[in-house]
Protein backbone atom coordinates (compact mmCIF):
# COMPACT_ATOMS: atom_id res chain seq x y z
CA UNK A 1 0.00 0.00 0.00
CA UNK A 2 2.77 2.42 0.95
CA UNK A 3 4.73 1.56 -2.19
CA UNK A 4 1.70 2.36 -4.34
CA UNK A 5 1.25 5.71 -2.61
CA UNK A 6 4.92 6.62 -3.03
CA UNK A 7 5.04 5.53 -6.67
CA UNK A 8 1.80 7.26 -7.57
CA UNK A 9 2.82 10.48 -5.85
CA UNK A 10 6.22 10.44 -7.55
CA UNK A 11 4.56 10.11 -10.95
CA UNK A 12 2.14 12.94 -10.20
CA UNK A 13 4.91 15.21 -8.94
CA UNK A 14 7.09 14.43 -11.96
CA UNK A 15 4.29 15.21 -14.38
CA UNK A 16 3.51 18.37 -12.43
CA UNK A 17 7.09 19.54 -12.82
CA UNK A 18 6.77 19.35 -16.60
CA UNK A 19 3.39 21.07 -16.76
CA UNK A 20 3.69 23.79 -14.12
CA UNK A 21 7.23 25.04 -14.76
CA UNK A 22 8.56 27.45 -12.11
CA UNK A 23 5.50 26.95 -9.89
CA UNK A 24 6.24 23.25 -9.65
CA UNK A 25 8.52 23.71 -6.62
CA UNK A 26 5.71 24.94 -4.36
CA UNK A 27 3.39 22.21 -5.64
CA UNK A 28 6.08 19.60 -5.06
CA UNK A 29 6.62 20.88 -1.53
CA UNK A 30 2.89 20.71 -0.83
CA UNK A 31 2.72 17.27 -2.42
CA UNK A 32 5.64 16.10 -0.32
CA UNK A 33 3.93 17.20 2.88
CA UNK A 34 0.68 15.54 1.78
CA UNK A 35 2.54 12.33 0.93
CA UNK A 36 4.33 12.37 4.26
CA UNK A 37 1.06 12.81 6.12
CA UNK A 38 -0.57 9.96 4.18
CA UNK A 39 2.34 7.66 4.93
CA UNK A 40 2.20 8.52 8.63
CA UNK A 41 -1.53 7.82 8.70
CA UNK A 42 -0.86 4.31 7.34
CA UNK A 43 1.48 3.46 10.23
CA UNK A 44 -0.31 1.63 13.10
CA UNK A 45 -0.51 3.56 16.35
CA UNK A 46 1.17 0.82 18.39
CA UNK A 47 4.14 0.99 16.01
CA UNK A 48 4.32 4.77 16.47
CA UNK A 49 4.25 4.37 20.26
CA UNK A 50 7.06 1.82 20.09
CA UNK A 51 9.04 4.22 17.90
CA UNK A 52 8.53 6.96 20.51
CA UNK A 53 9.81 4.60 23.21
CA UNK A 54 12.87 3.77 21.10
CA UNK A 55 13.55 7.49 20.57
CA UNK A 56 13.45 8.03 24.34
CA UNK A 57 15.88 5.14 24.83
CA UNK A 58 18.17 6.74 22.21
CA UNK A 59 18.43 9.79 24.49
CA UNK A 60 20.48 7.77 27.00
CA UNK A 61 23.80 7.90 25.07
CA UNK A 62 23.46 11.66 24.62
CA UNK A 63 22.71 12.07 28.32
CA UNK A 64 25.72 9.88 29.17
CA UNK A 65 27.97 12.02 26.93
CA UNK A 66 26.74 15.18 28.63
CA UNK A 67 27.42 13.61 32.02
CA UNK A 68 31.00 12.88 30.96
CA UNK A 69 31.49 16.44 29.72
CA UNK A 70 30.12 17.85 32.97
CA UNK A 71 32.26 15.51 35.08
CA UNK A 72 35.37 16.51 33.11
CA UNK A 73 34.53 20.20 33.51
CA UNK A 74 33.95 19.73 37.23
CA UNK A 75 37.47 18.31 37.53
CA UNK A 76 38.93 21.25 35.56
CA UNK A 77 37.00 23.79 37.60
CA UNK A 78 38.18 22.19 40.83
CA UNK A 79 41.79 22.36 39.57
CA UNK A 80 41.36 26.04 38.66
CA UNK A 81 39.88 26.75 42.07
CA UNK A 82 42.92 25.22 43.76
CA UNK A 83 45.23 27.18 41.45
CA UNK A 84 43.46 30.47 42.18
CA UNK A 85 43.57 29.79 45.91
CA UNK A 86 47.32 29.02 45.68
CA UNK A 87 47.99 32.24 43.74
CA UNK A 88 45.99 34.26 46.24
CA UNK A 89 48.03 32.76 49.07
CA UNK A 90 51.27 33.50 47.17
CA UNK A 91 50.15 37.08 46.54
CA UNK A 92 49.37 37.55 50.22
CA UNK A 93 52.83 36.25 51.13
CA UNK A 94 54.52 38.48 48.52
CA UNK A 95 52.53 41.49 49.69
CA UNK A 96 53.63 40.93 53.29
CA UNK A 97 57.28 40.65 52.20
CA UNK A 98 57.01 43.85 50.12
CA UNK A 99 55.45 45.75 53.00
CA UNK A 100 58.24 44.52 55.34
CA UNK A 101 60.95 45.63 52.90
CA UNK A 102 59.16 48.96 52.42
CA UNK A 103 59.10 49.46 56.17
CA UNK A 104 62.81 48.66 56.44
CA UNK A 105 63.61 50.95 53.49
CA UNK A 106 61.84 53.81 55.27
CA UNK A 107 63.54 53.15 58.62
CA UNK A 108 66.67 55.23 57.75
CA UNK A 109 69.14 52.51 58.72
CA UNK A 110 72.18 51.71 56.61
CA UNK A 111 71.97 47.94 56.79
CA UNK A 112 69.27 45.36 57.46
CA UNK A 113 69.67 41.72 58.38
CA UNK A 114 67.55 38.87 57.01
CA UNK A 115 68.17 35.24 58.00
CA UNK A 116 71.60 36.13 59.38
CA UNK A 117 72.68 38.01 56.26
CA UNK A 118 73.35 41.76 56.10
CA UNK A 119 72.01 43.86 53.17
CA UNK A 120 72.57 47.55 52.46
CA UNK A 121 69.79 49.95 51.40
CA UNK A 122 70.71 49.80 47.73
CA UNK A 123 70.15 46.05 47.74
CA UNK A 124 66.92 46.51 49.70
CA UNK A 125 65.56 49.05 47.19
CA UNK A 126 66.58 46.85 44.24
CA UNK A 127 64.89 43.77 45.77
CA UNK A 128 61.85 45.82 46.72
CA UNK A 129 61.48 47.08 43.12
CA UNK A 130 61.84 43.57 41.69
CA UNK A 131 59.37 42.12 44.18
CA UNK A 132 56.83 44.88 43.46
CA UNK A 133 57.00 44.31 39.68
CA UNK A 134 56.69 40.56 40.16
CA UNK A 135 53.74 41.10 42.49
CA UNK A 136 51.93 43.25 39.94
CA UNK A 137 52.46 40.59 37.25
CA UNK A 138 51.26 37.79 39.52
CA UNK A 139 48.28 39.87 40.61
CA UNK A 140 47.24 40.48 36.97
CA UNK A 141 47.66 36.78 36.22
CA UNK A 142 45.62 35.85 39.27
CA UNK A 143 42.87 38.29 38.25
CA UNK A 144 42.67 36.78 34.76
CA UNK A 145 42.69 33.27 36.16
CA UNK A 146 39.91 34.16 38.58
CA UNK A 147 37.82 35.57 35.71
CA UNK A 148 38.39 32.37 33.74
CA UNK A 149 37.35 30.36 36.78
CA UNK A 150 34.20 32.47 37.22
CA UNK A 151 33.26 32.02 33.55
CA UNK A 152 33.82 28.25 33.66
CA UNK A 153 31.81 27.96 36.87
CA UNK A 154 28.91 29.77 35.18
CA UNK A 155 29.19 27.48 32.14
CA UNK A 156 29.29 24.43 34.40
CA UNK A 157 26.20 25.57 36.27
CA UNK A 158 24.40 26.18 32.97
CA UNK A 159 25.38 22.70 31.74
CA UNK A 160 24.08 21.17 34.96
CA UNK A 161 20.74 22.97 34.58
CA UNK A 162 20.51 21.88 30.95
CA UNK A 163 21.20 18.28 31.91
CA UNK A 164 18.60 18.46 34.68
CA UNK A 165 16.07 19.83 32.18
CA UNK A 166 16.95 17.06 29.74
CA UNK A 167 16.46 14.38 32.41
CA UNK A 168 13.17 15.96 33.48
CA UNK A 169 12.01 16.12 29.85
CA UNK A 170 12.95 12.45 29.37
CA UNK A 171 10.92 11.45 32.44
CA UNK A 172 7.97 13.57 31.25
CA UNK A 173 8.13 12.01 27.79
CA UNK A 174 8.13 8.53 29.32
CA UNK A 175 4.99 9.43 31.30
CA UNK A 176 3.30 10.88 28.21
CA UNK A 177 4.10 7.78 26.13
CA UNK A 178 2.66 5.54 28.86
CA UNK A 179 -0.47 7.71 28.91
CA UNK A 180 -0.75 7.35 25.13
CA UNK A 181 -0.40 3.58 25.48
CA UNK A 182 -3.16 3.55 28.10
CA UNK A 183 -5.44 5.62 25.87
CA UNK A 184 -4.77 3.34 22.90
CA UNK A 185 -5.53 0.30 25.06
CA UNK A 186 -8.85 1.85 26.11
CA UNK A 187 -9.71 2.52 22.45
CA UNK A 188 -8.95 -1.09 21.57
CA UNK A 189 -11.06 -2.31 24.50
CA UNK A 190 -13.92 -0.07 23.36
CA UNK A 191 -13.69 -1.48 19.83
CA UNK A 192 -13.77 -5.01 21.23
CA UNK A 193 -16.79 -4.12 23.39
CA UNK A 194 -18.61 -2.82 20.32
CA UNK A 195 -17.98 -6.11 18.56
CA UNK A 196 -19.35 -7.96 21.56
CA UNK A 197 -22.49 -5.81 21.53
CA UNK A 198 -23.17 -6.92 17.95
CA UNK A 199 -22.95 -10.52 19.01
CA UNK A 200 -25.21 -9.79 21.95
CA UNK A 201 -27.89 -8.42 19.62
CA UNK A 202 -27.78 -11.65 17.67
CA UNK A 203 -28.23 -13.61 20.87
CA UNK A 204 -31.19 -11.38 21.76
CA UNK A 205 -32.73 -12.10 18.37
CA UNK A 206 -32.40 -15.86 18.93
CA UNK A 207 -33.87 -15.47 22.42
CA UNK A 208 -36.89 -13.62 20.99
CA UNK A 209 -37.40 -16.33 18.38
CA UNK A 210 -37.33 -19.02 21.07
CA UNK A 211 -39.84 -17.02 23.12
CA UNK A 212 -42.17 -16.71 20.10
CA UNK A 213 -42.00 -20.47 19.52
CA UNK A 214 -42.86 -21.08 23.17
CA UNK A 215 -45.85 -18.74 22.91
CA UNK A 216 -47.18 -20.56 19.84
CA UNK A 217 -46.82 -23.92 21.59
CA UNK A 218 -48.72 -22.52 24.61
CA UNK A 219 -51.57 -21.47 22.29
CA UNK A 220 -51.66 -24.91 20.64
CA UNK A 221 -51.77 -26.60 24.02
CA UNK A 222 -54.64 -24.33 25.16
CA UNK A 223 -56.64 -25.12 22.01
CA UNK A 224 -56.11 -28.83 22.53
CA UNK A 225 -57.42 -28.61 26.11
CA UNK A 226 -60.54 -26.75 24.98
CA UNK A 227 -61.29 -29.36 22.31
CA UNK A 228 -60.86 -32.18 24.84
CA UNK A 229 -63.30 -30.52 27.24
CA UNK A 230 -66.01 -30.04 24.56
CA UNK A 231 -65.89 -33.48 22.90
CA UNK A 232 -65.01 -35.92 25.62
CA UNK A 233 -67.09 -37.64 28.36
CA UNK A 234 -67.10 -35.45 31.43
CA UNK A 235 -65.68 -37.09 34.45
CA UNK A 236 -67.56 -36.40 37.70
CA UNK A 237 -65.56 -35.06 40.49
CA UNK A 238 -67.37 -37.45 42.87
CA UNK A 239 -69.03 -40.88 42.37
CA UNK A 240 -72.74 -41.02 41.43
CA UNK A 241 -75.19 -42.39 44.05
CA UNK A 242 -75.90 -46.09 43.76
CA UNK A 243 -79.72 -45.45 43.43
CA UNK A 244 -79.31 -42.70 40.84
CA UNK A 245 -81.63 -44.46 38.35
CA UNK A 246 -84.40 -44.97 40.94
CA UNK A 247 -84.14 -41.33 42.01
CA UNK A 248 -84.53 -40.12 38.44
CA UNK A 249 -87.51 -42.48 37.77
CA UNK A 250 -89.27 -41.50 40.99
CA UNK A 251 -88.72 -37.81 40.28
CA UNK A 252 -90.21 -37.86 36.83
CA UNK A 253 -93.06 -40.24 37.83
CA UNK A 254 -94.14 -37.76 40.48
CA UNK A 255 -94.28 -34.98 37.87
CA UNK A 256 -96.44 -37.09 35.50
CA UNK A 257 -98.93 -38.47 38.18
CA UNK A 258 -102.13 -36.24 38.66
CA UNK A 259 -102.48 -34.50 41.98
CA UNK A 260 -105.50 -35.11 44.36
CA UNK A 261 -106.74 -31.55 44.05
CA UNK A 262 -106.87 -31.72 40.33
CA UNK A 263 -108.94 -34.89 40.50
CA UNK A 264 -111.48 -33.31 42.89
CA UNK A 265 -111.84 -30.27 40.73
CA UNK A 266 -112.59 -32.39 37.66
CA UNK A 267 -115.39 -34.21 39.37
pLDDT tens per residue, range 164-212: 999 999 999 999 999 999 998 998 888 776 655 555 666 677 778 888 8
> What gap in Å lies between CA 119 and CA 57, rounded to an integer?
74
> What gap in Å lies between CA 97 and CA 115, rounded to an integer?
13
The rounded percent of the chain whose pLDDT value lies above 90 is 41
> What gap in Å lies between CA 182 and CA 187, rounded to an integer?
9
> What gap in Å lies between CA 207 and CA 217, rounded to an integer?
15
pTM of the model: 0.52
pLDDT of residue 152: 95
What integer is the mean pLDDT of 220-237? 64
The answer to whether residue 15 scores a pLDDT higher than 60 is no
CATH: 1.10.287.1490, 1.10.10.10, 1.10.150.80, 3.80.10.10. Which one for 44-186?
1.10.287.1490
Amino acid sequence: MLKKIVLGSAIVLGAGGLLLGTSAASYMKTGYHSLRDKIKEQIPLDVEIKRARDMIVDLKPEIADNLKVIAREEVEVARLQREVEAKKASLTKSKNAILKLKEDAQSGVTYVTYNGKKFDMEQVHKDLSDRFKSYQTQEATADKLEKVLSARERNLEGARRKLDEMLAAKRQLEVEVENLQARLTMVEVAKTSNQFSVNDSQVSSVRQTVADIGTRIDVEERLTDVMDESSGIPVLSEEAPADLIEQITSYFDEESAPSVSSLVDNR
